[in-house]
Structure 1
């Protein structure tokens, strides 16, 4: 995720700190500096090249509107979010093509909407990362146990039961092997046989067996697994540089 470099401009230290606190939870926002006057804001914008200015309007000497006009002349023009206690400046703010207009005292919900507008303006095509569940759920004696997929060595189908062999214990589920395989997508599991899935992180030796099949030796267990000849080439392609 590309960071949005942000400069906070306000002549009141408390207001600057409040804004920084509100922006802190947003991983895509990086506060790269502060300025306590309009003149300092222009100099810091020139030096730091921020993507966004959070800009107070009412400041002595050079006010926020004058700063907004001044930075329009720079090579890299930042987006502007006006942050002020005075609603009367809203019309002029949008004449300056501001992304948003935040009123003091700042509100969490309003600031969240502002961040969303900034994100859409600067990175309109950036996708939010999909959330991948990190635990594999198995029902055990009427309760749900959550297994770290990294601790599963292999999975196999025996009769009407799918067995999940972990480093510490073996779990059973009535889910079909193909359903378990689907749930473990995104982790390092590979089918080595119509009835077996193996965690690639536990493989340390592949030995020829007979009729083109191979035997697989795994860490954390003495059991050797048979690799069907139909899967050998794909397995080697997956494992080898």
Structure 2
């Protein structure tokens, strides 16, 4: 589990880091305010974010609401010296709320709760929900009218802010679908490898590590190599090894 700590107080961050290390968790980064938190979530793709509430600039509640709107948000746990923000925490879709000073037993319990798989996730993982691909084409509105892109011709979908680009054998096309919608519908044939990338399993050739230490997926018939985030690396390795 990769964890991001957001708090404007250095001592508070250090105390939480020590407690998490004692419990065997990896803190990937720290942030001092909501703006830094949003940037860190985008670049580091943590699994869990411990978020203070009262911070200068963008506060914790506002930052948590923005994070919750992402296609694949991390779990948010509010960690604050104040106990009157519980309702706002629920509104921001936080999975937990703890009041400082944090204690080891309390921290362990809330981390276990954050990792708990819910009923819908269990259904998808067990295969009891039908995840077969329903459509044969992706439609896109272009200057030529409606363009149909065959699913079998698609290498990957790449999200950039509000836009999603389909990379296929005939080029690149912008579409209106969100990456989350595509992931839900095309789950049996496409694999999420990063917050911003969904790739065709049939197009996977292998996995390579860059000089910078990042992993990239090698795809058939294209030089484009989507980066794999740490959150998805174990799943991607498992899929690659089974090919």
Category of TM-score, reference length = shorter chain: 0.3 to 0.5
Which structure exhibits the higher relative contact order, with contacts defined as CA atoms closer than 8 Å and separated by 6 or more residues?
2
| TM norm structure 2 | 0.47
